[in-house]
A and B are shown apart, each in its own frame.
Chain A
């Protein structure tokens, strides 16, 4: 089963350290040497604030991903417990953007130009920092521990716990 990052909105204070960490992790160690206007700042998670809720939205790494099903050029695949986009195959058709029920995938400018001189845009989503950091960077920097990486084992352990609690409460008059 795929892993995913879960948010506890009671803990989130909306500071967006997670958004920055995402970009810095993906642009790499050289981030602080880049010419300030030379790169695109494109976090793969999105802060949402309503009157009652504050929380970032991440990709859930669905087991039956709507984005993958909708993807025309087969640029989206499942590997290594994640749903991943191959930017080389992506044609920017936006089918995945329309299909995702969470709004967790969007089209961003790559910073490169196509043959006709127009900016190239591809789908971008959370990759759980695969290949760029040991654990999701957003989880690492969250100062209120509002974010956590949930693996299959974590989810199983939670289920066992919940069932035990349910049994106990049903046996207690």
Chain B
């Protein structure tokens, strides 16, 4: 037995925990995994860090690893056939070229991955779409989570990332936590909030539910879902009307204050209280407390961004921090905590329709010329590309065939599980002429694929992830990949080369070096420096060891905007798109299950995590709503919206308000995205996952319902190609 130890970064969530793997190299087998000291995690990890690597063993619980390329030789409707890599690559290249020749480069859409692959393949994916295909139609799942944070922050403070670092949270004096359930989405960040509380921080938690943060908060604001903007405008109103604003900071470091002030003056707590369902006195207390310290931190998550006014709330939160001078020192600022392990990195790599790596605008002719020269192409597309949430619109609703999306290259995503209004999304996937899925698992989207390209997983390749607080950290190969599978970067290079734009790299470092040379904010973050420091936080301009990176942004009130000044912005509040009504009297909001992740292909294939929580998932309901229809915890119920209907299990809890129900989004049987609305924020195009109208009904025949769940689960597994017989319980 050859025992080897390898340290790598966890593949779940943006906390970027460090894990130490012990492997038996001869058997190619993991013997032990435990957390070790890292910049963000100390030596701690959550259940996903401790037990979430089991999918590498491919236990085939929900789905199974892809081990060889497959194509539909006979076209749509023909069976998937296992083929050689050469045939698969030729098939993909030929079909993409066919679509491009007929409909032009903007008829092709690319979606890249914020998960396992890491920064290097994502850099190549956007390079491929821009330089080889010739379109800016490249996007990824930030669109459905924190795109609103990136857009709103860049428009106000100039940088779309956490301004502070995860470890700084514990030394905050005030934490304003809004729409963020750290205990479920980032337990390792929740630990910092717990520590801050123990060190005496005043914690304000604005959340309709009694989350763990709300439970330990000093002031819980259980606002009605969808009223964030009214609350944040009202807090600004109190701060200004009571003279608590930081006048010198506003004068020296910001602009457009007057227009902002005019809007927020319309939101006195007495007027906002009834809108949010809050006591005006509590809004005043929150505002006074927030303005009382120069170490006030705002933390937010999907409860801010997954609304049709998401960008506006983000701007309003950044403005609140500017209003009180809460930027540019340790333990202060704004913290949009990123959900996926490398969603910050995928944004950093320019896997967005409007920017190149390092947040350089595609609309800037000089920047375009720089990239065109480096990538050895005569020109690059100058129009901002399509956001992935608009794919259904450009397939199902677009009447002009010349403007439709005709090919979709999906790399490491599962839109058929993760996107809103799944019925419409499936209609779109079925209608697209050519769909490529490049993944580690067979998933719901793969069922629509014309070509399936199997990739190596986290743990089977080298690279760099970016943690939520802008920290570049290495991922390392733990196991040898099994089967006829390839590294994502190699696959992209092969397709590109077959399409007439040759790309070839020796290793991930060579790709990284090309990227940092083109991105001033990352230029100093060499592999060598990342290895030496363990983590390098951007911006890091100089490769010299003296530039160690940047712990917190906007030092000395110098913002990352064109003139260095922060820009005050907010808007007027309006209610969510689809409000409750007679037919659908409840509001449905989608939330996280702590032990599961994303579309669940990874955690659903980990023994322990699956044992802890399994299909069909839960719908959290208030005791009053349970009583009204005569259901209790454990009962199977039917949840229905205008768009769909699913079976899930009732969880009665006093932690939610009457009239609002909550479903965790990881389930395939109780798939809440069959119900959610595809209403989008007008700027970030992020869907309104957090609010739609629904109803919950009792199912009289529980035995039938239990069997139905078992049957649907078995059907899913069989569609995913798992041969094992599923016992009927």
Question: Which positions in A face B, CB cutoff 8 Å?
Answer: 10-17, 19-21, 23-24, 29, 31-34, 36-37, 41, 49-54, 141, 143-144
Interface string of B200-221 (1 = CB under 8 A from A): 0000000000101001100000
User: With a CB–CB cut-off of 8 A, which chain A residues contact B216?
Assistant: 10
Q: A-B pairs with the 8 shortest C-beta distances? A: A41-B611, A13-B183, A143-B44, A51-B654, A17-B47, A20-B608, A13-B212, A13-B190
Do A143 and B187 have beta carbons less than 8 Å apart?
A: yes
User: With a CB–CB cut-off of 8 A, which chain B residues contact A13?
Assistant: 182-183, 187, 190-191, 194, 212
Do A14 and B608 have beta carbons less than 8 Å apart?
A: no
Do A20 and B187 have beta carbons less than 8 Å apart?
A: no
User: With a CB–CB cut-off of 8 A, which chain A residues contact B191?
Assistant: 13, 143-144
Known interface pairs A32-B57, A36-B61, A143-B188. Does A16 touch B47 (Cβ–Cβ under 8 Å)? yes
Do B45 and A143 have beta carbons less than 8 Å apart?
A: yes
B interface, size bucket: 35 or more
Give B12 Cβ to nearest chain A Cβ, in Å.
13
Asked whether any CB of chain A lies closer than 8 Å to the CB of B198, the reply is: yes
Chain A to chain B contacts (Cβ below 8 Å), 24 pairs: A13-B182, A14-B594, A15-B47, A15-B187, A15-B190, A16-B595, A20-B47, A20-B51, A31-B607, A32-B30, A32-B57, A32-B607, A33-B57, A34-B607, A36-B59, A36-B60, A36-B610, A49-B653, A49-B655, A51-B655, A52-B210, A53-B215, A141-B50, A143-B45
Q: Identify the closest chain B residue to A35 (Cβ).
A: B59
Complex CA gap A155/B688 in Å reads 52
Number of CB contacts from chain A to chain B under 8 A:
86
Do B212 and A14 have beta carbons less than 8 Å apart?
A: yes
Give B222 Cβ to nearest chain A Cβ, in Å.
11
Give B269 Cβ to nearest chain A Cβ, in Å.
26
Complex CA gap A38/B607 in Å reads 11
Give B723 Cβ to nearest chain A Cβ, in Å.
14
A contact face: mostly helix, strand, loop, or mixed: loop
Interface string of B593-611 (1 = CB under 8 A from A): 0110000000000011111
Complex CA gap A17/B187 in Å reads 10
Asked whether any CB of chain A lies closer than 8 Å to the CB of B54, the reply is: yes
Known interface pairs A15-B46, A32-B30. Does A23 touch B594 (Cβ–Cβ under 8 Å)? no
Q: Which of A15, A33, A37, A51 has the most chain B CB atoms inside 10 A of its CB?
A: A15
Complex CA gap A86/B667 in Å reads 39
Asked whether any CB of chain A lies closer than 8 Å to the CB of B612, the reply is: yes
Complex CA gap A124/B351 in Å reads 52
User: With a CB–CB cut-off of 8 A, which chain A residues contact B30?
Assistant: 32
Q: Identify the closest chain B residue to A41 (Cβ).
A: B611
User: With a CB–CB cut-off of 8 A, which chain A residues contact B187?
Assistant: 13, 15, 17, 143
Instruction: From the candidates A17, A32, A37, A41, name the one contacting B46 in the complex (CB within 8 A).
Output: A17
Give B160 Cβ to nearest chain A Cβ, in Å.
28
- New A-B contacts (4) at CB < 8 Å, excluding given A20-B611, A53-B215, A144-B194: A10-B216, A15-B595, A16-B595, A51-B655
Complex CA gap A52/B183 in Å reads 15
Do B608 and A10 have beta carbons less than 8 Å apart?
A: no
Complex CA gap A36/B256 in Å reads 59
Give A37 Cβ to nearest chain B Cβ, in Å.
7
Instruction: From the candidates A24, A52, A53, name the one contacting B608 in the complex (CB within 8 A).
Output: A24
Complex CA gap A19/B61 in Å reads 20
Complex CA gap A93/B593 in Å reads 36
User: With a CB–CB cut-off of 8 A, which chain A residues contact B654?
Assistant: 50-51
User: With a CB–CB cut-off of 8 A, which chain A residues contact B50?
Assistant: 17, 20-21, 141
Complex CA gap A12/B608 in Å reads 20
Q: Identify the closest chain A residue to B51 (Cβ).
A: A20
Complex CA gap A52/B191 in Å reads 18
User: With a CB–CB cut-off of 8 A, which chain A residues contact B51?
Assistant: 20, 24
Complex CA gap A16/B54 in Å reads 17
User: With a CB–CB cut-off of 8 A, which chain A residues contact B212?
Assistant: 12-14, 54
Interface string of B58-97 (1 = CB under 8 A from A): 0111000000000000000000000000000000000000
Question: Which positions in B face A, CB cutoff 8 Å?
Answer: 30-31, 44-47, 50-51, 54, 57, 59-61, 182-183, 187-188, 190-191, 194, 197-198, 210, 212, 215-216, 594-595, 607-612, 653-655, 727
Q: Which of B44, B57, B612 has the most chain A CB atoms inside 10 A of its CB?
A: B612
Complex CA gap A117/B215 in Å reads 47
Known interface pairs A21-B50, A143-B46. Does A16 touch B608 (Cβ–Cβ under 8 Å)? no
Give B144 Cβ to nearest chain A Cβ, in Å.
24
Give B29 Cβ to nearest chain A Cβ, in Å.
9
Known interface pairs A32-B607, A54-B212. Does A11 touch B183 (Cβ–Cβ under 8 Å)? no
User: With a CB–CB cut-off of 8 A, which chain B residues contact A31?
Assistant: 607-608
Known interface pairs A50-B654, A52-B215. Does A16 touch B594 (Cβ–Cβ under 8 Å)? yes
User: With a CB–CB cut-off of 8 A, which chain B residues contact A36?
Assistant: 59-61, 607, 610
Do A16 and B612 have beta carbons less than 8 Å apart?
A: yes
Known interface pairs A15-B187, A17-B47, A143-B46. Does A10 touch B612 (Cβ–Cβ under 8 Å)? no
Q: Identify the closest chain A residue to B45 (Cβ).
A: A143
Give A119 Cβ to nearest chain B Cβ, in Å.
13
User: With a CB–CB cut-off of 8 A, which chain A residues contact B610?
Assistant: 36
Complex CA gap A107/B194 in Å reads 35
User: With a CB–CB cut-off of 8 A, which chain A residues contact B594?
Assistant: 14-16
Complex CA gap A56/B86 in Å reads 55
Complex CA gap A12/B607 in Å reads 24
User: With a CB–CB cut-off of 8 A, which chain B residues contact A54?
Assistant: 212, 215
Complex CA gap A46/B198 in Å reads 25
Do B727 and A19 have beta carbons less than 8 Å apart?
A: no
Instruction: From the candidates B61, B194, B210, name the one contacting A11 in the complex (CB within 8 A).
Output: B194
Q: Identify the closest chain B residue to A50 (Cβ).
A: B654
Do B197 and A14 have beta carbons less than 8 Å apart?
A: no
Known interface pairs A34-B607, A51-B654, A51-B655. Does A20 touch B59 (Cβ–Cβ under 8 Å)? no
User: With a CB–CB cut-off of 8 A, which chain B residues contact A23?
Assistant: 608, 611
Known interface pairs A31-B607, A49-B655. Does A37 touch B727 (Cβ–Cβ under 8 Å)? yes
Complex CA gap A116/B629 in Å reads 42
Complex CA gap A21/B654 in Å reads 28
Give A143 Cβ to nearest chain B Cβ, in Å.
4
Give B196 Cβ to nearest chain A Cβ, in Å.
12
Complex CA gap A114/B194 in Å reads 48
Q: Identify the closest chain A residue to B655 (Cβ).
A: A51
Q: Which of B30, B31, B47, B610 has the most chain A CB atoms inside 10 A of its CB?
A: B47
User: With a CB–CB cut-off of 8 A, which chain B residues contact A19?
Assistant: 612
Q: Identify the closest chain A residue to B188 (Cβ).
A: A143
Q: Identify the closest chain B residue to A52 (Cβ).
A: B215
User: With a CB–CB cut-off of 8 A, which chain A residues contact B210?
Assistant: 51-52
Q: Which of A34, A52, A144 has the most chain B CB atoms inside 10 A of its CB?
A: A144
Complex CA gap A21/B45 in Å reads 12
Give A56 Cβ to nearest chain B Cβ, in Å.
13
Q: Identify the closest chain A residue to B56 (Cβ).
A: A32
Give B36 Cβ to nearest chain A Cβ, in Å.
13
Give B645 Cβ to nearest chain A Cβ, in Å.
28
Q: Which of B31, B46, B190, B611 has the most chain A CB atoms inside 10 A of its CB?
A: B611
Give B635 Cβ to nearest chain A Cβ, in Å.
18
User: With a CB–CB cut-off of 8 A, which chain A residues contact B188?
Assistant: 143
User: With a CB–CB cut-off of 8 A, which chain A residues contact B194?
Assistant: 10-11, 13, 144
Q: Identify the closest chain A residue to B181 (Cβ).
A: A13
Give B17 Cβ to nearest chain A Cβ, in Å.
9
User: With a CB–CB cut-off of 8 A, which chain A residues contact B182?
Assistant: 13
Q: Which of B51, B197, B198 has the most chain A CB atoms inside 10 A of its CB?
A: B51
Instruction: From the candidates A32, A49, A144, name the one contacting B54 in the complex (CB within 8 A).
Output: A32
User: With a CB–CB cut-off of 8 A, which chain A residues contact B612?
Assistant: 16, 19-20, 41
Q: Identify the closest chain B residue to A32 (Cβ).
A: B54
Complex CA gap A11/B191 in Å reads 8
Give B247 Cβ to nearest chain A Cβ, in Å.
38
Q: Which of B31, B183, B212, B608 has the most chain A CB atoms inside 10 A of its CB?
A: B608
Q: Identify the closest chain B residue to A10 (Cβ).
A: B216
User: With a CB–CB cut-off of 8 A, which chain A residues contact B595?
Assistant: 15-16, 20
Complex CA gap A15/B191 in Å reads 11
Give B23 Cβ to nearest chain A Cβ, in Å.
13
